[in-house]
Structure 1
Amino acid sequence: MLDQILSQVTFVDAFNIGVFLAFTICYVYQFFYIFTVLTRKPPKQEAKKNHRYAVMISARNEIAVIGDLIHSIRMQNYPQELIDIFVIADNCTDDTASVARSAGATDVFERFNKDYIGKGYALDFGYKRIQQRYADRGYEAYFVFDADNVLDVNYFREMNKVYDGGAVASTSYRNSKNYGSNWISAGYAVWFLREAKYLSQARLTLNTSCAISGTGFFIAAEVLEKHGGWKWHLLTEDIEFSAQTIIDGKRISYCPTAMLYDEQPITFKDSWNQRFRWAKGFYQVFAHYSWKLLKGIFTNKKGARFACYDMLMTIAPAMLLTIITIGFNGTIVALALLGYMSAGSMIVSSLSSMFFCLFNYCLFMFILGALTTFTEWNNIHSTTGKKIKYLFTFPFFMLTYIPIALVALFKKAKWKPISHTISVDVEEMSKASQK
């Protein structure tokens, strides 16, 4: 009997250790990313000339915020004659289109399509309208923003340096305009700040490829021309584009000095719906592109192989390892309590493994959140008290991804609009970022 119990405990321990080692081996390189950011400065670029850009903004019932974004673009420290703003009023039931026109949009394209719903379809619609009406203006790249964004006054000047340096696409520094609303918005903000600082900046410094993330990026005109428009229509069209670009051996850049402010959800319902769609979208991208990325690790040109691995780890359903570990150990405990397996040390081993898994996840997230908060302290527009307070809620925000990832495995996802209502003073935001 003792030998049987020891054998069972060894099997449980071996499983848990195996999962832990697999996760560590796959993602240990991201610790080197942190070391790189803390010890090396990102490369600086200067532009030899100013380039001509088109801005595409997909907006659905964004009457409260669309004016702020257009105003922040119109006050850029960059020649206004080189920026044209196009708003795609996508299935709107309010006056977003007229507000955008009054705010200074070059043109507004109204789209009504209940069959093909999603940002990717709206961007493709807008791109084709621009080609039909403004092809003679010779846009060299296309910027994409969400309607709730606002930009630092030097955003285009800084991004122009990256495009002038030869980048086919680039993301930017994603800040938050409502960090202090509550623990949910702060959780988002810290995650995106961490993504900008400790993923994108490290990739830039090490000369590998970044990934575009939702908003605040440009794509060279030649890329969209090659693909015949915006042809990425999965639920996370940004990650899909990134995966395809990296598979093609191209490098997505990053500009740490171009700051964008994004509005984050403040209700758990909106947050659940948004992150559920993201989780489902990541599963879709993994299903469509994981094999090509795996092949690219061995077949792409030498400088692009690690980017394939990095993107594969980005889209891999790593959260499922946590779910599997908890589920496995929970099953062992249940079987032991029901008498199907020997109890005692078996229960202790499984319960300790479940605790170890959750505790280490929370601890790791706390360390990441604290590191991000303190290094980006001056860029976070909130009180000292809230910055400290939300250090401790960040791990719990990240824990909520576990049920989201689980539900996303089985439930279908649809685009659901999220209300944006926070209007900000663009001048004050820009002044604050310069302090």
Structure 2
Amino acid sequence: MQKFELFVDVVWTILEIAPMLVMGWLAFILVFGLIKRKALVKAFSDYKNRFAIIVCAHNEEKAIGSLLSSLGDLDYDKDKYHVYVICDHCTDKTAEIAGSYPFVTVMERNEGPTTGKGVVLSWGLPRILKMTEKDSCDAFVFFDADNVAKADFLTEMSKKMNQGNDIIQGNRLGGRPYNTYVTKWYTLYWASYTTYFSYAREKLNLSAFLTGTGFVVKRDLIEKEGWDTSTITEDVEYSIQNCIKGRRVAFCISAICFDEQPSELKVMMNQLSRWTTGSYQILNKYFYSIIRSKNERFLQKLDSLMFLLMGPCSWLSAIITALNMLIILWKLPLYACLPAVILGVVGLMTMYIAVYGAARYNKIESEGMFFALLTFPLFTFAYMICSIKTCFKPSTTWVKIEHKSLDRAQV
């Protein structure tokens, strides 16, 4: 009996410590990334890179016009970029609308599965490589059909490329209109993510992660290795693949694009379930590859592994904390829980301040955001519930999110 109790104690202690190590590491990176001064990195040249902009679209006739109009208004030499819209199994007027823009080439894909962007890129990139000469394209830019780009997006990305970066994630922010509290939660989430996760890692010379849209990959890299992803979160998978090879994803906070966010709770839960499922798929597929990879970026590998472990460790930590509280209540007087309650309140207030600060830093309008900020813990709770659910029941089916159009006045 004593041996069994000892075994239970050891297992419980491990379950308590492991999530704390992961969350502690992430908090450490966040804090030191914030307080570290941004290094002044000089560009190797003022060369203006040439870009092929790729847009994957499936029945996006309502949204794609705003994106293409914003791309037509970029303050970049018009002969140094061209847009390729890959219409994937489209049955509406997406191809017709895209073809009406003189700087757009429309490609129609009607064969193969409609399982997400990964398979579309695997189909389209080799064809675009054949269509473009090396001296006419230095890098590929990836957007979603529901995006709107700021006028200086390519200018800022070109500067970042000239600093020696091959893969660059731009500053993806939630765009107006902020129709519902779900939309506002997403807007606060992306402002926090880009500031505290991506920008903190950029300042520490660690790798950010691609977030699905608004990013650049150098042509030579695509030409040499192609695009070979199989999970439903192809952006994170591609980031991990390059981390294993010793590369990093740079982050350009000044290259801003806006992304239309879901407005319904059901759509939000479906999307979060796909994100968490993808994280588990990647963790299962690349865990040993990350550990065994031989490159000099040890801290980057460690940080990437901690990022993948963040989902399961967050809900495991929450469950263990709740159980410990129940044990304390069962064995000790009520006032014994006071330190834990105080710690919880401090943590909640810290989150409110951090999310508000990220929104202000990214110039997110505060009008109508107060209640969304107040209820933002519900978004994080929903994320955790999806992470628990998909750990046991993955969500692998791609479901299209219906888009409308972003307000271009904000760019």
Kept in 1: contact 2:192–2:358 (CA 8 A): no
Indicate conservation of the 8 Å contact 1:85/1:106, yes or no.
yes
With 16-25 and 45-54 compared, the bigger mean Cα shift is at 16-25
Report the Cα distance in structure 2 between the residues aligned to 1:260 and 1:277, rounded to whole angstroms: 23
Residues 1:19 and 1:392: Cα distance change in structure 2 (over 3 Å): farther
Give distance in 2, aligned partners of 1:313 and 1:172. Answer: 22
Residue in 1 that maps onto 2:410: 429
- In structure 2, distance between residues paired with 1:306 and 1:142: 28
Question: How many aligned residue pairs are there?
Answer: 406
Which residue of 2 is the match for residue 27 of structure 1? 23
Which residue pairs with 1:390 in the alignment?
372
Give, as a single letter, the amino acid of the residue that structure 2 aligns with 1:209.
S
Query: Is 1:289–2:286 an aligned residue pair?
Result: yes
In the alignment, is the contact (CA less than 8 A) between 1:118 and 1:235 conserved in 2? yes
Moved more, 84-93 or 375-384: 375-384
C-alpha contact (below 8 Å) 1:212/1:252 kept by paired residues: yes
The correspondence of residues 6-405 of structure 1 with structure 2, limited to 5 A, is 18-32=14-28, 33-46=30-43, 47-115=45-113, 117-135=115-133, 138-178=136-176, 180-227=178-225, 229-296=226-293, 299-301=294-296, 304-316=297-309, 318-319=311-312, 322-323=315-316, 326=319, 347=330, 364=347, 367-377=350-360, 379-384=362-367, 386-405=368-387
Deviations 1:7-63 (A, max 9, x none): 97x998876665443222223233333343245235355452101110110011111
Deviation at 1:323, TM superposition (A): 4.3
Secondary structure of 2:100's aligned partner? helix
Determine helix, strand or coil for the equivalent of 2:82. strand
CA 1:322–1:259 in 2, change beyond 3 Å: closer, same or farther? same
Counterpart residue identity of residue 231, structure 1: D
Give the 3 Å change call, closer, same or farther, for CA 138–312 of structure 1 in structure 2: same
- Cα distance in 1, alignment partners of residues 173 and 228 from structure 2: 28
Stretches of structure 1 lacking an aligned partner (at least 5 in a row) = 334-343, 431-435
Between 97-106 and 18-27, report the one with greater CA deviation. 18-27
The AA in structure 2 aligned to 1:292 is S
Contact 1:179–1:382 (CA<8 Å) still a contact in 2?
A: no
C-alpha separation in 2, matches of 1:272 and 1:355: 34
Equivalence for 1:417: 400
Any idea what SS the aligned residue of 2:31 has? helix
Tell whether the 8 Å contact from 2:315 to 2:388 is kept in structure 1 after alignment: no
Q: Is the 8 A contact 1:362 1:399 kept in 2?
A: no
- Report how far residue 248 of structure 1 moved: 0.1
Asked if structure 2 preserves the Cα contact closer than 8 Å seen for 1:43 and 1:205, the reply is no
Contact 1:59 1:88 in 2 (8 A): yes
Structure 2 residue matching 1:218: 3-state secondary structure: strand
- Output one character per residue of 1:300-352: Cα deviation in whole Å (capped at 9) or x when no partner: 21xx111111111111253355247638976997xxxxxxxxxx968457x99
| Unmatched segments (≥5 aa) in structure 2 | none
Query: Residue type of the partner of 1:313?
Result: M
Say if 1:64 and 1:423, in contact at 8 Å, map to a contact too.
no
1:354–1:102 CA distance, 2 compared to 1 (3 A): farther
- When residues 75 and 289 of structure 1 are mapped into structure 2, their CA distance, relative to the original with a 3 A threshold, is same
TM superposition shift of 1:210: 1.6
TM-score by length of 2: 0.88
Partner residue in 1 for 2:388: 406
Q: What SS is found at the alignment partner of 1:189?
A: helix
Check conservation: 2:57, 2:145, Cα contact below 8 A.
yes
| 1:179 to 1:316, Cα distance in 2 relative to 1, 3 A | farther
Q: Distance in 2 between matches of 1:213 and 1:242?
A: 9
**2:402, 2:105 → 1: CA distance?**
23
Give, in whole Å, the separation in 1 of the partners of 2:283 and 2:342: 28
Which amino acid letter does the alignment assign opposite residue 254 of structure 1? F
Compared with structure 1, are the counterparts of its residues 399 and 356 closer, same or farther at alpha carbon in structure 2 (3 Å cutoff)? farther
Inter-partner Cα distance in structure 2 for 1:83 and 1:353: 64
Letter in 2 for 1:312: L
